[in-house]
Structure 1
């Protein structure tokens, strides 16, 4: 049978002889110097030059620009998903999407919306069955 001792050994408290010694790391090799994270790798990949055939002439552009030119070509050929994505990028860059979302409706638009709201409420109350005596609102 194992002998129990009260020297603080248990979950989260390993024996003293197997603990990390003072001044020594638990991960001595650690992350190698010069290793890059994903964001840096992505940035470097997008900035890498590629050869592109543009109208019969070869030219070098960044990978990012080449991808956008390919997206533009597909959008102009009529691919709906490419066109949607291209317009999304264009709207995001122009700032029109953010201005429309924060702009309040004009006075005329507010009057139209209020008239529509009143019409819907009138139709809802007219269509509701009359209440019988003794019925709850719940």
Structure 2
């Protein structure tokens, strides 16, 4: 035995030097099998796959992720509020990177506040002669 092994005490957290991992050699030499992919990798590969989509009179090959995005935005533009909220939740960075946008959008869908009603009441009850509103312009156009 050498003098190094005599001084070394084997115990908890101190394996024998002969059985330790060797320098320059992997602790998992075979690694992960090639067929073993994670769920995220499988989902990413599936969303990157190309499909043929017909838009109007022409066909285009786009990824499945692009097709999902097109469908989501088209539905939101048609007025589907569920799709609109889903679109806002998909990527907060797309709309400024904060949850304030989501809160504002949900507040807008709930309806106007009391302050909004006060502003509208004041606007419509104001004197039409004083500010030259749209009512006065129509009258002048008819009389000319």
TM-based fold match above 0.5:
no
Normalising to structure 2: TM-score of the pair? 0.42
Normalising to structure 1: TM-score of the pair? 0.44
